[in-house]
Amino acid sequence: MTSPGDAAPVKPPPSFSPGVARGTSKSRYPDEAESTHSIDAELAEARSVSSPTPPLSATTAELPIRSSSPHARSVRSSTPQLARSSLGSPFDGRFDGSEDIRSLIIRAFSPTVAIYASDDTDELVRNKGFKGGFWELVRPFGDTVSGKVVIRDSVGSSRAWEDYGVRFVDLNGFGRTPAGRESGQESSLTQMEEILEQQLESAEGPFGGSIPPKDALGVPVASPLWKLLLRQILSATSAAPHETFGHPVASVIAISSRNMAPLETLRQLYGESSSGDKRLPDWVNSEYLRYYVLVHDEERDDITESTKLYDQMKRHFGLHCHLLRLRSSQCIVTDDDSVQVPSCEWLSPQERLSGVGEAGKYSAFIRQLETNNIAETLVDLGTDGTPYLFDSDVTAIRTFIRELMVQSVIPFMENRVAVWNDQIASRRRGISGRFMSVGRRFMTFGSGSRSGATGSSGGSGNYDPTNNFYGPDSPEAILRKMADFAFMLRDWKLAASTYEMIQSDFKNDKAWKYHAGAHEMCAVSMLLNPLAMSAKIKLESVDQMFENACYSYLTRCSDVPHALRALSLGVELLKSRGGSATESAARWAMRVMDFGLVGPIGQILFTERVSACYASKISMGGAKWGGRRRKAGMWSIFAANQWLKAGNPTLAAACLEEGERLYGDVLETDGVFPIPEMQTFVDNLRHSVKVEYLGARGFDTRDEPASEDPVLTDETSEKLEKIDKRNHRRSLIGLPGQLDVGNFNMTSGTRDPENSPNDDFERA
Amino acid sequence: MAAPRHSAMLSISNAATPQSTSSDRTQAPQQPQSPAPTQGLRVPSNRKTIYDRHLNRSRNAESSRASFAYLFAEMVTYAQRRVTGIQDLEKRLNEQGYPLGLRLLDLLFYRATSTSSSALSSSSTSSSPPNRPLRILTLLHLIHGPLWRLLFQRSADALEHSVSPDTPNEYMITDNDPLVNTYISVPREMSMLNCAAFVAGIIEGVCDGCGFEAKVSTHNQPTEMWPSRTVFLVKFGDSVMEREKVLERAGIK
Amino acid sequence: MSYYFTILSPTDTPIFNIAFGTSKSGGDGIARFRFPDTAQYMNQFIIHSSLDIVEETQWTNGGMYLKHIDTYPPAAAYISAFLTPSGARFLLLHQPPQLPASNSSSLGASSLLGASGSTTRASSSSIAANPTSPQTEEAVRQFMNEIYESYVKTAMSPFYKQGMEIRSPVFRTKVTAAGKKWL
């Protein structure tokens, strides 16, 4: 596997190391020195982002070392830098679409910031059309922090991320949901299924569901439906004691300029959030950052007053303050500088379901899925109640979030990780890494809440078995929090080693959910860490960890959403690893189906995913073996069969086509299977897919020809352009007129052109 | 890989003469009773079909050289009908040998498996079944040694690899005095002809059966001592060479 | 335990098929697959898909018997393979009997937290219960060797050419007998 990181060992010879190289080039090519430098800088810049063009450093490694071109030299000289800055993304571009999913997964574990706004602030925002108040206003903008976010890891090297995000939660609602968790779990799964159903129904019609998009080579990337499911799986789990991802890293306390007694209100809000009835549950560490925001009403209040107040705030509360200037009137679509509020990416299944009717977030989401179809978006605009904001407001909010994250939250987290690592983790590593039980018995940890006497039962005594959680100050809980922080800061190496360290503690304490969580995240962070795990042994240990996590979650704790999350993460990350890991990925996907963790539609999506996993295993080198084309094809065909049974011939057609493409390589003649029963099955499937597809289309065209036609021609013309590039493509989705025998690449007589659905269509 | 060859073979296997000739050498007594037909199965009076007979029974049986020479002569005559030239004739002989190669392969391994003293490799003393050849060299050793012994009761005389860097896929197996040519004198105007093309076909069948796509041709290279010395030139296909590289890297012997 | 045995030619054409059940430990020798009888294609899909693995293993393992090479977890189907030197593939799909308690694990509705994943890992060492135990491997190996002998005899026939379907009833009887004897 060639990753940019791997390319690092090919070091430039001493004479070309950065300093020297530049010196010589200056003296020899004085006029080119400038340009060299700028190219250098540009390159470094380009690479330091998530770098979608992989082979750059790889190609530099292959460049002839004695190249006399100044350009080449400059590339070489910057290699070490590149190697380091691109550590995080070794797979970019290698597997199409997997980078996308990877980013999705990473962003799913963003730091959480709780929002606690005063009543006057919420009222101000409600006037702008956001019923949920300040939280609802800022929430969608947290999905991506604008610009790059630079994070330093535990060894001091920094890396810039473009896709960093933050999850805003409402402090009012925090920790209340877990009360009814037992029922909530089951329902979140049914809700997930419901959403998928709605998505399918709403997309039925001209497009008949979301057809998996394909890249230029005709290799399908992850289907939108799958991404929707994955996103839900990742957001279905609410804050829980055993992991701190949902716990607030910071809390934003907001007041508005309308407030009469601003400082008092702030104090009061602070007090409520830390001790009053708005206090967080016991299992949440109360040591989190407080951030104070003054929302200034541009239209009704005086900015000088607000500035004065802001200065006062800064004096009282330190640097973690922000002045947010918003206009208080509601923006409507016809306003000059109106900007549509982006839809929120991380809605829990429940929110997504309830949001469908009123807020229009959902329909916005659907439109996002169908991005190809711009015309429809334009037509629909404004009819669904999507909120709008003034351009200036959007800019202000983005700036606020960026400042919040870059200047306060991330440094805070970096600092906590460093402190905990120093005080707790490194001591643990040093001694008890080797003598765990001894270490546990006699160490005294930094945070003095421990009561000294430890149980002799092998457990540390910090675990509260009746309520099933560790006190937030216990070293176990802090180590877990530190690992989670490191994970959210994308320092996967530190995270993995920390998770690994605490696994056995949880096991000794029989804290099974913690145990499961540590195994899950340890495996995930090992898979995310691009440099770890080159050996195959590691892959086995990762498998073992998922096995443990899955067993603890399911059998010991009956926690389906978490188990589902763990396994889905495993599937996706193993798949993106390529090679033999893809087979593990497929196996885990099958386990999900076997355990029945998802509903009927989810089952089909996982079936498709198994196919995708196998398809991504490609044959090695010049050899013809090593691929899993037959398996991939088989699962695709099964998926097609299931879609058909589920009454969705369009998706069935897409799967069938994909299956035939995959089988194309291994069959002697296209579409002809050597085994008769398989042939019969596939023939029948083709036939019924075609009949149902045309049947469904036939009705559509007769009922509402006008609404469909422009769209249809649009799509076909686009397809026709591409058709020469994809010779394997036998589209069922294309022009209905083409849907005759020829398009199916059929061989026997079951499908004569005269069959009735086709006739119907002609008449219509 | 083998499919086109088979269709070409149809007429020949129907004729059955050449086949039983060659089979005679290996398992003469069994062939006449073969009960392949599906309906109206004729079971011999002693109720024993070929499936009930032991395959190794004829292991050490020998057939008369005279009858072999006669049958082979008939084969050449048969092949010579309606041919357009020497190349065509050699091609026909080759095609007659090909299915024999496939069969010998199975028989060879069967016998090596079922008898503890391995016929395949002289060094191996264990009773574990022999391995299928994965690399070119093991395959060629198999042909050079055990296959030749099974057919002619002696090993071939030389096994060489082409020294030219342009043709790393060419190997040569030399037989100083091929049995098939012993009683054949080729007319002057056909001096290029070498009837050992039949053996070349056998080799091709063995290579193909093992998954090594190859073309085998015969060349007369007489010396003073061995006037009918024949070189079998084995040319492996590109896919084989590519696979060879991969296996080399993987360290598979 | 139910078995589905197929011989595939080098071009993946099936030349012999048979389904049978175990005769050991009171089995009646009738195959009971987890798919309905109308879905026999499933066996073939699974076997066909395991050719991916056969083709890979074939070049790393020089033996003729390649052992248990593939599993299709949704149906708990295990595939063992035997490769003749001339390229014919003997593939045996074996499927442990479905425990009455476990849900139909393959597709469609299944209960949450189904215990079906563990049904195949019954601790018994008898062939019928554990498809990956050494005993099973050995039994399958014996079975394959016996078939190989019959196959060689078939292949030696001048009326048989490679890739042709094997229609001989004697051959079928032989396979059935070998199945009774070993599996």
Note whether A324 and A252 are same-domain residues: yes
Give the pLDDT score at B200: 93
User: Mutating which of A624, A666, A669, A672 best tests the B interface, going by the most B Cβ atoms within 10 A?
Assistant: A624
For residue range B70-80, what is the model confidence (pLDDT) as tens digits?
Answer: 999 999 988 88
Note whether A379 and A399 are same-domain residues: no
A747 min Cα distance to partner chain C (Å): 17
C22 min Cα distance to partner chain B (Å): 23
Question: Between vectors from CA A200 to CA A194 and to CA A201, what angle results, nearest 5°?
Answer: 90
Strand order in the sheet with C89-95: C14-21, C2-8, C89-95, C77-83, C65-72
Nearest to B49 among C87, C156, C170 (CB): C170
* Position A429 pLDDT exceeds 60: yes
For residue range B209-249, what is the model confidence (pLDDT) as tens digits?
Answer: 998 999 999 998 888 888 888 999 999 998 888 888 888 88
**Cβ pair A599, A646 in contact under 8 A:** no
**What ipTM score was computed for the predicted complex, to two decimals?**
0.85
Residue range of the domain that includes A755: 627-764
A184 min Cα distance to partner chain C (Å): 15
Tell me the one-letter amino acid at B166: D
For residue range A670-687, what is the model confidence (pLDDT) as tens digits?
Answer: 778 888 888 888 888 988
Sign of the dihedral through C-alpha A123, A127, A132, A134: negative
- Per domain, the residue ranges of chain C are 2-98+124-182
Distance CA A673, CA A665 (A): 12
**CATH class of the domain at C2-98+124-182:** alpha beta
Nearest to C109 among A595, A600, A634 (CB): A600
Question: What predicted TM-score, i.e. pTM, was given to this entire model?
Answer: 0.74
A629 min Cα distance to partner chain C (Å): 7
Note whether A710 and A690 are same-domain residues: yes
Looking at residue C78, the DSSP 8-state letter turns out to be E
The residue with greater pLDDT, A455 or A474, is A474
**Cβ pair A525, A495 in contact under 8 A:** yes
Judge: B243–A623 Cβ closer than 8 Å, yes or no: yes
Lowest mean pLDDT among A72-76, B84-88, B92-96: A72-76
Length, in residues, of chain C: 183
For residue range A11-34, what is the model confidence (pLDDT) as tens digits?
Answer: 333 333 333 333 333 333 334 333
* Position B36 pLDDT exceeds 90: no
Tokens describing residue A473? 């100050």
How many residue pairs from chains A and B have C-beta atoms closer than 8 A? 14
The residue with greater pLDDT, B4 or C49, is C49
Tokens describing residue C133? 């135990």
- Residue A73 domain flag: yes
Displacement of CA B106 from its chain's centroid (Å): 12
Give the pLDDT score at A460: 57
Give the pLDDT score at B234: 93
Note every long-range contact of A365-370, with CB atoms under 8 Å and residues 24 or more positions apart, other chains counting: A366/A199, A366/A202, A366/A203, A368/A343, A369/A203, A369/A210, A369/A224, A369/A228, A370/A203, A370/A207, A370/A210
Tell me the one-letter amino acid at C166: I
Give the pLDDT score at B15: 35
Distance CA C19, CA C172 (A): 11
Give the pLDDT score at A672: 80
Judge: C158–B19 Cβ closer than 8 Å, yes or no: yes
Chain B CB contacts of C165 below 8 Å: none
Residues 85-114 of B with CB under 8 A from A: none
User: Locate tokens 């690899």: which residue?
Assistant: B161
> In sequence order, what are the residues at sequence separation of 6 or more whose Cβ sits closer than 8 angstroms to the Cβ of residue A448?
none
Within 13 Å of residue A141, how many CA atoms lie on the same side as its CB?
A: 25
> In sequence order, what are the residues at sequence separation of 6 or more whose Cβ sits closer than 8 angstroms to the Cβ of residue A680?
C41
Residue of C nearest to A625 (CA): C56
User: Mutating which of B110, B114, B239 best tests the C interface, going by the most C Cβ atoms within 10 A?
Assistant: B110
C74 min Cα distance to partner chain A (Å): 6
Residue of C nearest to A550 (CA): C113
Give the pLDDT score at A511: 85
DSSP of chain B, one letter per residue? --HHHHHHHHHHHHH-HHHHHHHHHHHTTTGGG----SSS----TTS--GGGS-TTTTTT----HHHHHHHHHHHHHHHHTT--SHHHHHHHHHHHHHHHHHHHHHHHHHHHHHSSS-SS-SS--S-SPPPPP-SHHHHHHHIIIIIHHHHHSS--SEEEE---TT-TTEEEEEESS-GGGTT----GGGTT--TTHHHHHHHHHHHHHTT--EEEEEEE---SS-TT-EEEEEEE-HHHHHHHHHHHHHT--
For residue range B156-197, what is the model confidence (pLDDT) as tens digits?
Answer: 998 999 888 888 899 999 998 888 888 888 888 888 888 899
- Residue A336 domain flag: no
Judge: C87–B209 Cβ closer than 8 Å, yes or no: yes
Q: A343-368 burial string, b = 16+ CB within 10 Å, else e?
A: bbbbbbbbbbbebbeebbbbbbbbbe
The residue with greater pLDDT, A479 or A89, is A479
Judge: B106–C11 Cβ closer than 8 Å, yes or no: no
Chain A CB contacts of B245 below 8 Å: 621-622
Q: Given pLDDT bands bounded at 50, 70 and 90, which one contains residue A222?
A: low
The residue with greater pLDDT, A409 or A738, is A409
Give the pLDDT score at A376: 39
Chain C CB contacts of A583 below 8 Å: none
Residue of A nearest to C48 (CA): A630
Give the pLDDT score at B131: 82
Distance CA A720, CA A742 (A): 16
Q: Given pLDDT bands bounded at 50, 70 and 90, which one contains residue C129?
A: low
Distance CA A611, CA A586 (A): 8
Cα torsion through B142, B144, B149, B153, rounded to 10: 180
Q: Given pLDDT bands bounded at 50, 70 and 90, which one contains residue A636?
A: very high
User: Locate tokens 């003095």: which residue?
Assistant: A448
Nearest to C85 among B35, B36, B105 (CB): B105
For residue range A259-305, what is the model confidence (pLDDT) as tens digits?
Answer: 888 888 888 888 887 776 677 777 888 788 889 999 998 888 888 88
- Give the domain B3-26+53-250 fold: Muramoyl-pentapeptide Carboxypeptidase; domain 2 (3.30.1380)
Tell me the one-letter amino acid at A367: R
Tokens describing residue B115? 């008898």
Q: Where are the beta strands (DSSP E) in A94-234?
A: 112-117, 149-152, 158-161, 167-170
Judge: C163–B210 Cβ closer than 8 Å, yes or no: no
- Average pLDDT of span A509-520: 88
Which residues of C fall below an 8 Å CB-CB distance to A?
A: 8, 11-14, 40-41, 44-46, 48-52, 55-56, 58-59, 73-74, 103, 105, 107-114, 116-117
Cα torsion through A163, A169, A174, A180, rounded to 10: -70
- Average pLDDT of span B15-24: 38
Looking at residue C77, the DSSP 8-state letter turns out to be E
Parallel/antiparallel/unpaired status of strands B214-220 and C2-8? unpaired
Kindly report the number of other CB atoms within 10 A of residue C142's CB atom. 15
Helix (H, G, I), strand (E, B) or coil at C79: strand
Q: What percent of chain A clears pLDDT 90, i.e. is strictly above it?
A: 8
Note whether A422 and A377 are same-domain residues: no
Give the pLDDT score at A624: 66
The residue with greater pLDDT, A205 or B237, is B237
Chain B CB contacts of A627 below 8 Å: none
Instruction: Give, in order, the Cα–Cα distances in Å from C42 to each of A668, A677, C34, C120.
Output: 21, 9, 10, 19
- Residue A523 domain flag: no
Question: Between vectors from CA C146 to CA C144 and to CA C149, what angle results, nearest 5°?
Answer: 110
- Average pLDDT of span C95-114: 48
Distance CA A405, CA B176 (A): 85
Q: What percent of chain B clears pLDDT 70, i.e. is strictly above it?
A: 76
Chain C CB contacts of B107 below 8 Å: 152, 156
A628 min Cα distance to partner chain B (Å): 18
Mean pLDDT of chain B: 77
Nearest to B131 among C62, C157, C168 (CB): C62
Distance CA A333, CA A385 (A): 10
How many residue pairs from chains B and C have C-beta atoms closer than 8 A? 121
Q: B246 CB near a chain A CB, below 8 Å?
A: yes
Helix (H, G, I), strand (E, B) or coil at C83: strand
Nearest to C112 among A596, A637, A673 (CB): A596
Distance CA A565, CA A270 (A): 34
Q: Given pLDDT bands bounded at 50, 70 and 90, which one contains residue A558?
A: confident
Give the pLDDT score at A186: 57
Distance CA A141, CA A465 (A): 39
Chain A CB contacts of C74 below 8 Å: 590, 593-594
The residue with greater pLDDT, A389 or A211, is A389
How deeply is A538 buried, as exposed, middle or buried, from its count of CB atoms within 10 A (0-12, 13-18, 19+)?
middle
Note whether A321 and A367 are same-domain residues: no
Q: Given pLDDT bands bounded at 50, 70 and 90, which one contains residue A402?
A: very high
Judge: A590–C73 Cβ closer than 8 Å, yes or no: yes
Domain count, chain A: 4
- Residue A398 domain flag: yes
- Average pLDDT of span A491-495: 88
C41 min Cα distance to partner chain A (Å): 5
- List the CATH number of the domain containing A147: 3.40.50
User: Locate tokens 């009735």: which residue?
Assistant: A756
Q: Where are the beta strands (DSSP E) in A432-511?
A: 463-464, 469-470
Question: Between vectors from CA A752 to CA A747 and to CA A756, what angle results, nearest 5°?
Answer: 145
Judge: C10–B99 Cβ closer than 8 Å, yes or no: no
Judge: A623–B249 Cβ closer than 8 Å, yes or no: no
DSSP of A214-242, one letter per residue? B-TTS-B---HHHHHHHHHHHHS---BTT
CA-based radius of gyration for chain A: 28
Give the pLDDT score at A520: 92
Helix (H, G, I), strand (E, B) or coil at A530: coil
Kindly report the number of other CB atoms within 10 A of residue B132's CB atom. 24
- Per domain, the residue ranges of chain B are 3-26+53-250
Q: Given pLDDT bands bounded at 50, 70 and 90, which one contains residue A724?
A: very low
Q: B249 CB near a chain A CB, below 8 Å?
A: yes
Looking at residue A422, the DSSP 8-state letter turns out to be I
For residue range C135-157, what is the model confidence (pLDDT) as tens digits?
Answer: 888 889 999 989 998 999 888 88
Residue of C nearest to B211 (CA): C87
